């Protein structure tokens, strides 16, 4: 593939409602849209980094800098034959996975369009539809939380994820179980809010029979998680700790988790996401696709990767309207039936850009000619 030019658009969009986790509250999200031009085709990617270095060390600003100074010049240096070559070309650059993934995602979309196939098919997807769940941030009151759970269950979402932290954990989770029963698929996401000193507190969650507790301990840990998992009946799911297939291999061998959340941006792109999926499939570890408050392009990439066979747990890729009054793609992402989304069969990501919305929230545009 020969790249004619690359365009990077910086947008900032308000969320439908504030989203609160253990590390802060977001009212809006700024992110980058990547467009790679090649002949008559354009490939689309999206940066999923947050505005602040709270989830990871990357931010929208660092992604912009890495694209400008290092990654785009590397990509434009010479042609590539397949998107898998992108991660190899970027390998001399340490980490900065979200920056790499934003650019690599656009290459995958471009490649799929040039091949005349969907991104799902290009990745080896096997599903025509996927199960989807929803992530609920911390609420001001438990009654507000219960109201949201009730609404999302009525919409058919296949998994309810609730953000927790010390002091906001047992009471809201217990109230959900008391109100809706033990049959609903309920999980908790701690975003690294606990330490091993909280082990007895975490063990009190076992009777709630959660699907999993996601990333209870430090964002860069796999050792302490193995100690905690040996004490818990509830499966641990690792998120922030897994940045590569090597991280996943070590976590599995140490017994640090029984489930892995694969986020495309966190692991550096679709190629690495596929490798982690394949490793987990060989080891009987179920996987699912987490969310990063993506706009429509990132959401489309999540749908495509979730069509791979071992994504057996509903991911966080809810409908566009869950987060945005208006999304950057047409048509917007919707549920095809309660709790399910169709995997697009059109070429590439299967969506067009809504340039009217993009221009409404556009901050800057940079163009890189080859």
- The b/e string for 305-324 (b: 16+ C-beta within 10 A; e otherwise) is bbbbebbebbbbbbbbebbb
The verdict on whether 263 is a catalytic residue reads: yes
Closest CA to 236 of 227, 245, 244: 227
Asked if 262 and 291 touch (Cβ cutoff 8 Å), the reply is no
The Cα 271–Cα 273 span in angstroms is 5
Taking the CA atoms of residue 84, residue 53, residue 211 and residue 246 in that order, the dihedral angle to the nearest 10 degrees is: 40
The verdict on whether 163 is a catalytic residue reads: yes
Q: Which of 113, 158, 163, 274 is catalytic?
A: 163
The residues, any chain, with a CB within 8 Å of residue 278's CB and separated by 6 or more, are none
Sign of the torsion formed by the C-alpha atoms of 150, 152, 157 and 161: negative
Q: Which of 29, 100, 161, 263 is catalytic?
A: 263
Query: What end-to-end distance do the CA atoms of the chain give, in Å?
Result: 13
Closest CA to 269 of 38, 47, 1: 47
Active-site residues, by number, are 163, 263
């Amino acid at each position: 593939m020969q790249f004619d030019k690359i365009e990077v658009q910086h947008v900032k969009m308000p969320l439908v409602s504030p989203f609160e986790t253990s590390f802060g509250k977001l009212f809006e999200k700024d992110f980058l849209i990547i467009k790679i031009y090649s002949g008559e085709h354009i490939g689309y990617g999206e940066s999923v980094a947050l505005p602040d270095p709270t989830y990871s060390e990357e931010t929208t600003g660092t992604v912009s800098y890495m694209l400008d100074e290092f990654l785009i010049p590397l990509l434009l240096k010479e042609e590539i034959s397949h998107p898998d070559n992108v991660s190899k070309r970027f390998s001399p650059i340490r980490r900065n996975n979200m920056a790499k993934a934003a650019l690599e995602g656009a290459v995958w979309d471009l490649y799929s369009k040039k091949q005349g196939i969907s991104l799902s098919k290009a990745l080896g997807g096997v599903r025509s539809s996927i199960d989807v769940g929803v992530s609920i941030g911390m609420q001001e009151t438990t009654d507000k939380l219960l109201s949201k759970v009730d609404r999302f269950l009525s919409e058919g979402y296949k998994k309810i994820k609730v953000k927790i932290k010390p002091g906001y954990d047992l009471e809201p989770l217990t109230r959900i179980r008391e109100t809706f029963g033990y049959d609903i698929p309920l999980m908790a996401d701690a975003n690294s809010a606990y330490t091993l000193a909280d082990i007895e507190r975490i063990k009190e969650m076992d009777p709630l029979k959660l699907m999993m507790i996601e990333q209870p301990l430090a964002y860069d840990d796999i050792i302490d998680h193995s100690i905690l998992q040996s004490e818990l009946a509830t499966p641990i799911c690792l998120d922030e700790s897994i940045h590569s297939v090597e991280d996943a291999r070590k976590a599995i061998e140490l017994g640090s988790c029984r489930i892995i959340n694969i986020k495309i941006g966190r692991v550096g792109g679709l190629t690495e996401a596929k490798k982690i999926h394949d490793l987990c499939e060989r080891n009987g570890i179920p996987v699912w696709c987490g969310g990063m408050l993506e706009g429509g392009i990132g959401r489309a990439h999540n749908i495509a990767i979730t069509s791979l066979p071992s994504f057996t747990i509903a991911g966080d890729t809810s409908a566009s309207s869950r987060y945005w009054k208006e999304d950057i793609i047409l048509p917007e992402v919707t549920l095809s039936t309660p709790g399910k989304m169709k995997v697009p069969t059109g070429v590439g990501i299967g969506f067009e850009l809504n340039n009217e919305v993009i221009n409404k929230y556009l901050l800057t545009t940079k163009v890189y000619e080859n």
